[in-house]
Chain A
Amino acid sequence: MAMAADDIAALIRAGIPDAEVEITDLAGDGDHYAARVVSATFAGMPRVRQHQAVYAALGGRMGGVLHALQLTTAVPK
């Protein structure tokens, strides 16, 4: 089971409306992705909370249909 990169980005943007989302298909197999998510809402949040906010936007898919997503989060410069 896998997800399309656009679907992942759309879910993240739906949960975090101001997010800039960049998805990279790491292996070209539609199953191993890297995501970089930049949002002003992350300001002042520890990294664990930033990642949890992204996982919440993905609504339980992380660790399920979405097996491998390398995640990097940041606040806009």
Chain B
Amino acid sequence: MSEDVQARIDAVVKNNPVVLFMKGSPLFPQCGFSSRAVAILQHLGVEFESVDVLQDQGIRQGIKAYSDWPTIPQLYVGGEFVGGSDIMMEMYESGELAELFEGAAKAD
């Protein structure tokens, strides 16, 4: 895995409060799991940066090594890996995700 890709991913993760690595765009998700992740963030009214991994094979593979996580989508808040769409859904249903974003907004 090239260090350059890891550095690029790290910069995106660290420079944006909320980032979703996904397949497709929020308007046109290319996978059911990515679509679900976008729907959760939009439902919570969260502004987020998105990265379409289908546009960049380096990032598509590199993001899996970056987080030691085998699948996409991947959500990062405040520079930390939160999880994929299953964890997002679980945290959404329990109210933890809303709390996480409230906490992140205050920290800004």
Contacts and interface: CB of A to CB of B under 8 A. Distances in A.
Interface of A: 47-48, 51-52, 55, 60, 62-64, 68, 70-72
B86 A63 contact: no
A70 B32 CA distance: 11
24 contacts: A47-B83, A47-B87, A47-B90, A48-B69, A48-B81, A48-B82, A48-B83, A48-B87, A51-B83, A51-B84, A51-B87, A52-B68, A52-B69, A55-B69, A55-B70, A60-B70, A62-B70, A62-B71, A63-B64, A63-B70, A64-B70, A68-B32, A72-B86, A72-B90
Interface residues of B, number: 15
A63 to B, nearest CB: 4
Contacts of A60: 70
Contacts, number: 30
B33 interface: yes
Nearest to A47: B87
B87 A63 contact: no
Interface of B: 32-33, 64, 68-71, 81-84, 86-87, 90-91
A51 B86 contact: yes
A70 B33 CA distance: 9
A2 B32 CA distance: 18
Contacts of A71: 86
Closest 5 CB pairs of A and B: A63-B70, A62-B70, A63-B71, A71-B86, A47-B87
